[in-house]
Amino acid sequence: MIRILEDEAIDCFVSRLRLVSPELFRTGPWSGLNERHTDGLKLISAGLGWRGCYGFNRLLHMHTNHSVGWLLHQPTDFSFSGDLYHRSSVIIKDAEFWSTALCYGCILEDINMLGFIYWRRSHQWGGTVCARHEMKLVKQCFTCGQNFYFESLKLGHWQPCVCNEWISKDVNYLDFSLSDLSYARLRNEFSKFNFQIPIHYVSRALDERLKFMRAKSRYWSDHVADLGAGSDSCSLHSLLIGMSEWWETTGSELLNSVPLIYLVHMMFKSFDDFLKAVNCPLDELVSISTKWSNYLGDVEVFGDAVFFTD
């Protein structure tokens, strides 16, 4: 089987595999593969030699955006993805992406190193900038104006758009805001961070930073960028409203959800700035890979949280 590339999106890997090894999908379990279901991810991880629950979670963490919501450590949770591993045909929402986004810098690099291009997980979460090359992501064909969607355009990995046009070098790929770049960097750092932080350290850091920003501001309309944050499109008033709405909607699960990224972006200059504020002792950081082999048992059967190791 072909190897999966660094930061390659699941959809891209399966598309390449269908192209290189079509016979694999003619019969047997691969013939009905759905890479966005738990069963499909188990099949893919096993095919890569990443077996069991460990391999399933490794694939989730390294090749989907599922990793972003798992930064925080709950003392009572010993698994990376809860009960997903033992459940069948469950859609992994974070394994999907909205549209295919391309970076001109990545394209040149891929063609030079590989001879073809591939879709990166880190480009598919709705952002507008490639954090690595600091270039604007392209999501539409410059000629026909259609979005680069896998299914709708049937866009090949080394072929032009269906209108026979390809991405032009004569485009301003630096047309983005500093806020967009800082958010792309933050999201990238979130997905690559291989440790979980005890939740009380993060809660304390957010609380202290909010108090600092309120003390530093003179008006509710002050932009958070002027108060030491990375976003330049949010006021302190909007931040407080957003935090209130998130808390009301998610309750105690707020800090374990994707909105944490938006909070950090609106309250800190960078991921490093956030980590310094958290100030978690090194011996209390929890390696994510230590949780990859564990999964949560069926609560309906056991009546309580029971974890298993596979």
pLDDT tens string 190-203: 888 889 888 888 88
pLDDT value for 217? 74
Ramachandran region of residue 89, left (φ > 0), alpha (ψ -120 to 50) or beta?
Answer: left
Nearest to 100 by CA among 126, 132, 74: 126
Reported as type and span, the H/E element at residue 195 is strand 195-198
pLDDT tens string 12-33: 899 889 988 999 999 999 999 9
Reported as type and span, the H/E element at residue 106 is helix 104-113
Confidence of residue 161 (pLDDT cuts 50, 70, 90): confident
pLDDT value for 278? 94
pLDDT value for 284? 92
Residue 34 pLDDT > 80: yes
Residues 119 and 83: beta-carbon distance below 8 Å: no
Residue 147 pLDDT > 80: no
Burial of 194 (0-12, 13-18, 19+ CB in 10 A): exposed
DSSP, collapsed to helix, strand or coil, labels residue 144 as coil
Contacts of 7 (CB under 8 A, 6+ apart): 62, 63, 120, 121, 122
Give the whole-angstrom CA distance, residue 158 versus residue 133. 20
Report domain extents, the chain. 1-198+288-310, 199-287
Strand-pair partners of 197? 72
Of how many residues is the chain composed? 310
Q: What is the mean pLDDT of the chain?
A: 81
pTM: 0.83
**Measured distance between the N- and C-terminal CA atoms of the chain, rounded to whole angstroms:** 24
Range 298-302 contact pairs with CB under 8 angstroms and sequence separation of 24 or more: 298/83, 298/86, 299/83
Q: Which residues of 21-50 are buried (b: 16+ CB within 10 A; e: fewer)?
A: eeebeeeeebeebebbbbbbbbbbbebbeb
pLDDT value for 200? 84
Residues 301 and 60: beta-carbon distance below 8 Å: no
